[in-house]
Structure 1
């Protein structure tokens, strides 16, 4: 069975990570390739690492700061490339298209119109909110209704999509997965030799990731208690300079470590150098970074939002937005079993998620 994935990679986020992990999880009888609507050096590097077959349609990178308006504008130029993509599909005798994200859904819809025999699965990687324009919602519903299967990476996202659109066939949940490397060669748990509690947050420095909330919470905690907390922040982004300045202003330099971008190959060791994961982001369809931390036995401190309730369960602490300082204190007081957190996270392994998609593929042929 030959499967063609289509994606418009922006950087190396949840959708790109899912694809790399799925394709790297080989299943007998399934042959997969990827069409990249745009070039992405980060994504291509990972695809080369796993020796994936891929095709790049446009020699142009979208970049991290791309807006939906930019994507829509550029889609008109992609219309001319639909026939090129359809030729690749026909020459390769692909039977199933697996679309990832908004741009791919538009391209897939047009391909379906000119190649009605093709079967299509669409996976949504974000949280789709209803547009204020009814005509846009109707168009989106029509596109979704033309596909054979609809999936999204969390139950929260599924419920939102099914509520916001008039769908004949409903979205179903298939969780995102993390790399198989996270599921072997576990580091042995070491008892603390000092009184420093290390929290880790791996995220781009953008407003929705709420790095400022961590700074303010730690300032409040330091004013009230004498807990020795160190927060390790990995990532880059437009808010980095501002956060560093506020940390200095609040005299918290001894409580924060700024690592900048970290190579993906180093993330597992970084996680194992810390005691807890802190994850105050509020706009997540899945929460990949939190799951990666849990895979190594780290409890997670996050905001009490639907997606965090869904993926964290009892493996951490969920707090309201103004209670992050309380959460930092509370999570240290609770004794979590590292082995139980690791076992729980195995449901997000590539083999488990690939099995679910494989059943969908086979059901279409």
Structure 2
């Protein structure tokens, strides 16, 4: 453990019942005079303040004890020292409204006493029974049960060790998926590997470690792969770690201008991210997710680090390797059968619900299309990154557009199979994003034989390579709707798009089968 850190010892989840207390051990390393310790209890199903917040307990700690026992009994918490001496909280807050919960989320937090700033935190899911635990973990188990190619043809030392590091590792996120896929294939080939993140999906807490557990691996056989896409306050520490080799995988930073209106804090982080690129000089190799991303990185470094020859050398020799390890199995023959039919036109969008993705433009296009075919439906799959942006979309739907509420399905937290089924059942995939480095959903749509309708930006152009349908203007969605409507009325035109994308899919899959990435990190 590092200085000023907190850890729940020995467990990554718990199972409680209402008849006896659940006990766990917490270890804290800090200067106790300057910090307070907080235990927060939420409903795991809805871990938000205030509707899912059961209560919190604040403790003043002394240097006499660094390990504590936490007793959880029917939504109430007790803290004792290692010697079983009860420690009373200096303040508490208990929700006056009864919070219904099936399972619990316990958060242990170390805060600065004066500023209340969070120094470290550690979360733990606690389940009512084993069945609930298995249900919670099952999507991750399914994910890791995917079949990957073996590494028999790759020459490497069995003594090699790999550290996969990213500020965020989340389930079904493009950066997170790449980290998880890489971890899975190395584990299945009996290669020593561990993952570290500042923030990660709680369902992954049995495979992802917190940053403060990442220590210098002063070994000649250790390789660190750092996936960078947004500001990371710990980048200086990560770039200074002494290992045999450090690889910087650059996913592209979202243009801060697209975040300014609805996500001010994220916009500031995106802007500050550019200043962190000087840390590249402390890495041995750079990989980017597309040719376009490499060009952006090179232009930025040329402009701001003109005199730094080391950065220029590393960036100019960067490898371009798509952020995909294991492609989904597409069955094109199933996909194009019985399509298109006028009563089953289905548009699909998968991705974050945030301003940079321009979901409002998807709604505006769809608003024009249903004037031509009222039976068309739209499915939007993704987590809501910003409630203000979702409120804006709701305002458009209520006051500016004329889309019946039953025509749009808003979905999230789907299983991998459910997402595959949506690709297979849809008629068109829509992307209105104006800022991408690669775009995994478009990649998947191409490989599932699903025609792509996308705003023409460099990363999309690179992926589609003159296949799909692209457009350069968003001023006339009525004309775009007519264009798509015409294609759907002429089955041969639709199938021509499918066939052209299928040819591109074979090229993409060859580039993106993961072997190039594995080969690069095993060198």
Tell me the TM-score normalized by structure 2: 0.54
1:95 matched to 2:222? The reply is: yes
- After superposition, the Cα gap between the structure-2 partners of 1:175 and 1:42, relative to the gap in structure 1 and judged at 3 Å, is farther
Equivalent in the alignment of 2:480: 327
**Counterpart-to-counterpart distance in 1, 2:290 and 2:240:** 27
**Counterpart-to-counterpart distance in 2, 1:138 and 1:357:** 25
Equivalent in the alignment of 1:246: 396
Equivalent in the alignment of 2:504: 344
Instruction: Output aligned runs, 1:18-97, within 5 Å.
Output: 18-25=178-185, 31-41=191-201, 44=204, 54-57=207-210, 81=212, 85-87=214-216, 89-90=217-218, 94-97=221-224
1:213 matched to 2:369? The reply is: no
**Counterpart-to-counterpart distance in 2, 1:251 and 1:285:** 33
1:159 matched to 2:299? The reply is: no
Instruction: Output aligned runs, 1:74-223, within 5 Å.
Output: 81=212, 85-87=214-216, 89-90=217-218, 94-101=221-228, 102-103=231-232, 105-111=235-241, 115=242, 118-127=244-253, 140=276, 142-165=278-301, 166=305, 167-170=312-315, 171-177=318-324, 179-183=326-330, 187-192=334-339, 193-222=341-370
Equivalent residue in structure 2 for 1:5, among 164, 172, 181? 164
Contact 2:288 / 2:322 at 8 angstroms: preserved in 1?
yes
Equivalent in the alignment of 1:289: 441
Contact 2:431 / 2:442 at 8 angstroms: preserved in 1?
yes
**Counterpart-to-counterpart distance in 1, 2:221 and 2:208:** 14
SS of alignment partner, residue 314 of structure 1 = coil
Give 1 or 2: higher helix fraction.
1
SS of alignment partner, residue 469 of structure 2 = strand
Q: CA deviation at 1:247?
A: 2.5
RMSD: 3.4
Contact 1:177 / 1:348 at 8 angstroms: preserved in 2?
no
Equivalent in the alignment of 2:376: 229
- After superposition, the Cα gap between the structure-2 partners of 1:342 and 1:3, relative to the gap in structure 1 and judged at 3 Å, is farther
- After superposition, the Cα gap between the structure-2 partners of 1:182 and 1:322, relative to the gap in structure 1 and judged at 3 Å, is farther
Contact 2:290 / 2:437 at 8 angstroms: preserved in 1?
yes
Q: CA deviation at 1:184?
A: 6.3
Q: CA deviation at 1:211?
A: 1.5
- After superposition, the Cα gap between the structure-2 partners of 1:340 and 1:144, relative to the gap in structure 1 and judged at 3 Å, is same
Q: CA deviation at 1:160?
A: 0.5
Contact 1:16 / 1:43 at 8 angstroms: preserved in 2?
no
**Counterpart-to-counterpart distance in 2, 1:216 and 1:138:** 33
Contact 1:231 / 1:255 at 8 angstroms: preserved in 2?
yes
**Counterpart-to-counterpart distance in 2, 1:328 and 1:343:** 26
Give 1 or 2: higher strand fraction.
2
**Counterpart-to-counterpart distance in 2, 1:25 and 1:221:** 43
Tell me the TM-score normalized by structure 1: 0.75
SS of alignment partner, residue 328 of structure 2 = helix
CA offset digits 1:276-321 (Å, max 9, x no partner): 1001112222111111122110111111111111112233111123
Larger Rg over CA atoms: 2
Alignment: residue pair count: 322
CA offset digits 1:233-291 (Å, max 9, x no partner): 11231233442443244331154222344233310001111111001112222111111
- After superposition, the Cα gap between the structure-2 partners of 1:3 and 1:137, relative to the gap in structure 1 and judged at 3 Å, is closer
Equivalent in the alignment of 1:359: 519
Equivalent residue in structure 1 for 2:419, among 264, 267, 270? 267
Contact 2:175 / 2:227 at 8 angstroms: preserved in 1?
yes
Contact 2:291 / 2:320 at 8 angstroms: preserved in 1?
yes
- After superposition, the Cα gap between the structure-2 partners of 1:336 and 1:140, relative to the gap in structure 1 and judged at 3 Å, is same
SS of alignment partner, residue 414 of structure 2 = coil
- After superposition, the Cα gap between the structure-2 partners of 1:129 and 1:261, relative to the gap in structure 1 and judged at 3 Å, is closer
- After superposition, the Cα gap between the structure-2 partners of 1:198 and 1:14, relative to the gap in structure 1 and judged at 3 Å, is same
Contact 1:174 / 1:353 at 8 angstroms: preserved in 2?
no
- After superposition, the Cα gap between the structure-2 partners of 1:154 and 1:328, relative to the gap in structure 1 and judged at 3 Å, is farther
SS of alignment partner, residue 187 of structure 1 = helix
Equivalent residue in structure 2 for 1:279, among 402, 418, 431? 431
